[in-house]
Amino acid sequence: MNLVLLGAPGAGKGTQAQKLVAEFGFVHISTGDLLRSAVSAHTELGSQAESYMKAGKLVPDELVIGLVKERLSHDDVEKGFLLDGFPRNCEQAQVLDAELATLGKTLDGALYVNVSKDLIVKRLSSRRTCRACAYTAPAGCDVCPACGGQMYQRDDDKPETIQKRLETYETQTAPLVDYYKAQSKLKEVDGAADPNEVFARVKKLLSL
């Protein structure tokens, strides 16, 4: 199954992706993780992207599209993939549709995890991320449960940056809900509940 994950930063898309990967073996393709890896590796792309990410702004389309195209060409996506963080706007969605067609692939759906703005701000400001493997956990967790790495607060999870991220999402990314609804591919789930409850609803929505 090939899916696009939709929802504001902090809605819980990554958590649901982890559960889908663990149970069904899908490949999780997170553009945020790809970009952060590029920044850590001090690649040319990473240097260009870093200033945008620190300011809570979206990285320009041309920088992201190249990464996604290359990733979708790998053999492991044949088992199914979850695109997280791409497309970010309707123009990218059209590019994705065209690129998938050239690869002989199609999207089976767009999973929209819907959460209120107040809850998102609370979640993100208390989130910590592993420097080594990007695992996320609540504040107070100093050692990564997954790999033992150091947990820290990312710049884009600080309160002053969260508001900018949400404003950017509302203007550029939220219209994707209507885009996929028009294609009869939208699957919406309330992400405010316990992650396990959300996952049960997700599986029912996707007939898994």
State which residues form the domain around 94.
Answer: 2-116+171-206
Long-range (24+ apart) CB contacts under 8 A made by 19-24 are 19/195, 19/199, 19/202, 20/82, 20/199, 20/202, 21/82, 23/208, 24/80, 24/208
Cβ(138)–Cβ(130) under 8 Å? no
Q: Is residue 25 in a domain?
A: yes
201 part of the active site = no
Tell me which of 123, 128, 154, 187 is the catalytic residue. Answer: 154
Mark whether 128 is an active-site residue: no
Q: Indicate whether 75 belongs to any domain.
A: yes
Does residue 136 lie in a domain region?
Answer: no
The tens digit of pLDDT for each residue in 81-94 reads 999 888 988 999 99
In a domain? residue 142: no
pLDDT in tens, 41-67: 888 878 888 888 778 777 888 888 877
Catalytic residue among 71, 123, 128, 165: 165
Residue 164 lies in a domain: no
Confidence of residue 35 (pLDDT cuts 50, 70, 90): confident
176 in a labelled binding site? no
Q: Catalytic residue, from 88, 123, 128, 187: name it.
A: 88
Predicted confidence band of residue 168 (pLDDT cuts 50, 70, 90): confident
Tell me, yes or no, whether 34 lies in a domain: yes
**48 known member of a binding site:** no
The active-site residue, picked from 71, 123, 127, 187, is 127
Quick one: pLDDT at residue 110?
96
Report how many domains make up the chain.
1
Lowest mean pLDDT among 96-100, 114-118, 153-157: 153-157
Concerning whether 88 is annotated as a catalytic residue, the answer is yes
Taking residues 108-125, what's their average pLDDT?
85
Q: Give yes or no for residue 172 having a pLDDT over 90.
A: no
Evaluate whether residue 137 is within a structural domain: no
Q: Binding residue per annotation — 59?
A: yes
Q: Is residue 143 part of a domain?
A: no
Mean of pLDDT over the chain: 87
32 is in an annotated binding site: no
Catalytic residue status for 123: no
Give the Å distances, CA to CA, from 197 to 4, 119, 121.
Answer: 20, 17, 21
| Percentage of residues in the chain having pLDDT higher than 70 | 100
**Is residue 128 annotated as involved in ligand binding?**
no
Assessment of whether the complete model's pTM goes beyond 0.85: no
pLDDT grade for 150, boundaries at 50, 70 and 90: very high
Residue, of 188 and 10, whose pLDDT is higher: 188
Bridge partners (DSSP) listed for residue 5: 84, 111
Residue 71 known to be catalytic: no
CB 40 within 8 A of CB 46: yes
Q: What is the CATH number of the domain that holds 56?
A: 3.40.50.300
> What pLDDT does residue 135 have?
85
